Structure 1
Amino acid sequence: MRLTGDGSSTLFVPALNEHYHSTHGARQESRHVFIGAGLLVRLAAGLGQPGRPPLRLLEIGLGTGLNALLTLQAAQAAGAAVAYDALETYSLPPAVVARLLPEWAAQPGAAGGWFGALHAAPWGEPCPLAPDFFLTKLAQPVQDAALPAGYYDLLYFDAFAPAKQPELWTEAVFTKLYAAAAPGAVLVSYCAQGQFRRNLRAAGWLVEKLPGPPGKREMTRAVK
C-alpha cells in the first residue's frame, strides 16, 4: 500500500510494475475521470433519477473498489439509483482489505461500512450496498463475460495500462462493449493513448479528448 499525492492510498503490483491508481492522487483521479466526466454527466441527463430505472453501469477493473465507492457516495448525494456491475479477475486478499479499511472508516458517513460490504459481497449476485445501489461483482475478464446487448448507460474502463494488459485494449474488446452499451451510453477512461482512441473509433464509438486529472494532460470519453 502506498500513499498518493492527495493523501489517499493505492496499491503497487510488482509483477506488472504498476500502481492501481495515479500516484498524483488516487481519489482526485477517480473523481475527475469517472465521477466528473462520466457519472455526473449521465445523472444530469436524468438517468437514475426518482421515477426512472436505475442507471446501469459497468466497470472494467473493480480493483480496490475506489470508483464504485465514490460512485455510491455521489449517487446517494444526488438521490439517484444505480445498478453497478464490475468485472474483476483478482479479488483483494483479506489482509489488504484490512489495511485499506481505516482510510475509508475515517471518511464521513457510512463509507467504512460500504467499503467492508463491497469486499465481503458474494460474487455473481446483486448485493445492496445502500438504498438504490446494487453491486454485482463478476469474476470474469471482459473478453469472456456474457454482457447483455444494449444495456449499459455508463462504462468505466479502468484496466491497467495498455502496455501492461494489452489484451484488454483491443478493437475486439471495444466492439463488445459497444454492443453492450445503450444508445447514448458514455465510456470514460484515464487513458489517452492514440491507439486506444483509434480502437474505440474502429469499434463505432465517438471519441473526444478531455483535460486529464492532475499529473495527466488528457483523458478519454467516448459516446455511443
Structure 2
Amino acid sequence: MKRELKVTSDGSKTLYMENWDECYHSVHGALNESMHVFIKNGLNEVEADSLHILEFGFGTGLNALLTLSERGGRSIQYTALEKYPLSEEEWNAVAYGRTSEERVAFASIHLADWNAPVEIESGFVLKKVETGFEEVEFEPNSVDLIYYDAFAPSAQPELWTTELFTKCFQTLKPGGFLVTYCAKGQVKRNMKEVGFEVMALPGPPMKREMTKATKPSNV
C-alpha cells in the first residue's frame, strides 16, 4: 500500500493514499483538524473523570497522541481500530509532537504492542486492534465517545453505512456520542436512521461543518 508524505497548511504532516486518492488528515491542517473535531468537540465535551474512547481509524496516531496530551489528568481507556498499520519509517516521517514529551509519547504509542492493552502513561491505557471496522464486536453500552475517522465516503462508502452506525450506537453508553469530520447528507441520514440525534457543528479550517451524533440518554 503506497503512502506519500505531505505537509499541510498548518505545518503538520499527513500521508496521502494513492490507492484511494485520500489523505489521512485535512491538507488545510492535520493538527488543527484533529484538535477541532476530536479534542474540542469530542474529548472536551465529556465531563467524566474516567472514560472509554473508541477510535475508528487509528491511522497516524495523531488523535491518540492529542487525547493523551489534552486529557487533563483524566483516566482514559483508548481502543483504536486499524486495518493497515503504518511502518516505523512512515510514522517517524510524520513526526508528530509539539514538545519533546509529546514526541516521546508518540513513539511509545506506535511502539506499543498490537491487540493487547498497554499503559502508555499512568491513567492512559491504549489498545490498538489490527482489524477492519466491520469485523469487531464490542460490549454494548461500554464506550463514552467514538472518534469516527475513517477515510471519506467517496473512497470507502462501506465504512459509512447504517450497519456500522448501528454497531456504534449499540456500543455507546446512553448519552455517549460520536464525532467525525464528515458532514455528508447521506451519512447524517444513516446516523439518524439507527437512532442517533445528529447535530451539525462548525467545521475545522476551510470546512463549513462537522458532525456530532449522540445516543439518547433514555435508550
TM-score computed with the length of structure 1 as normaliser: 0.92
- Alpha-carbon shift at residue 118 of structure 1 (Å): 1.0
User: Which residue of 2 is the match for residue 28 of structure 1?
Assistant: 32
Query: Which amino acid counterpart does residue 60 of structure 2 have in structure 1?
Result: T
Q: Secondary structure at the match of 1:159?
A: coil
Superposed, which structure 2 residues align to 1:36-185 within 5 Å? 36-42=40-46, 45=47, 47=48, 49=49, 54-75=50-71, 78-101=72-95, 103-104=96-97, 107-185=98-176
- Alpha-carbon shift at residue 98 of structure 1 (Å): 2.3
The separation in 1 between residues aligned to 2:91 and 2:37, in whole angstroms, is 24
- Alpha-carbon shift at residue 131 of structure 1 (Å): 1.2
Deviations 1:174-203 (A, max 9, x none): 001101110110100000000000000001
The separation in 1 between residues aligned to 2:200 and 2:9, in whole angstroms, is 24
Which stretches of structure 1, 4 residues or longer, exceed 6 Å deviation after superposition?
none
The separation in 1 between residues aligned to 2:138 and 2:176, in whole angstroms, is 15
Q: Secondary structure at the match of 2:40?
A: helix
Superposed, which structure 2 residues align to 1:190-205 within 5 Å? 190-205=181-196
Query: Which amino acid counterpart does residue 137 of structure 1 have in structure 2?
Result: K
Query: Which amino acid counterpart does residue 18 of structure 2 have in structure 1?
Result: P
The separation in 1 between residues aligned to 2:209 and 2:27, in whole angstroms, is 16
Query: Which amino acid counterpart does residue 80 of structure 1 have in structure 2?
Result: R
Query: Which amino acid counterpart does residue 113 of structure 1 have in structure 2?
Result: V
Equivalent of 2:7 in 3, 7, 11:
3
The separation in 2 between residues aligned to 1:142 and 1:63, in whole angstroms, is 13
- Alpha-carbon shift at residue 32 of structure 1 (Å): 0.4
Query: Which amino acid counterpart does residue 136 of structure 1 have in structure 2?
Result: K
What is the percent sequence identity of the aligned residues?
A: 44
Q: Secondary structure at the match of 1:148?
A: coil
The separation in 1 between residues aligned to 2:168 and 2:115, in whole angstroms, is 19
Q: Secondary structure at the match of 2:134?
A: coil
TM-score computed with the length of structure 2 as normaliser: 0.94
Query: Which amino acid counterpart does residue 174 of structure 1 have in structure 2?
Result: F
The separation in 2 between residues aligned to 1:98 and 1:32, in whole angstroms, is 24
The separation in 2 between residues aligned to 1:14 and 1:34, in whole angstroms, is 25
The separation in 2 between residues aligned to 1:184 and 1:144, in whole angstroms, is 25
Query: Which amino acid counterpart does residue 20 of structure 1 have in structure 2?
Result: Y
Contiguous gaps of at least 5 residues in structure 2: none
The separation in 2 between residues aligned to 1:110 and 1:127, in whole angstroms, is 18
Q: Secondary structure at the match of 1:197?
A: helix
User: Which residue of 1 is the match for residue 203 of structure 2?
Assistant: 212
Q: Secondary structure at the match of 1:83?
A: strand
Deviations 1:58-87 (A, max 9, x none): 000000000110010001xx1111100000
What is the CA RMSD across the aligned residues, in angstroms?
Answer: 0.9
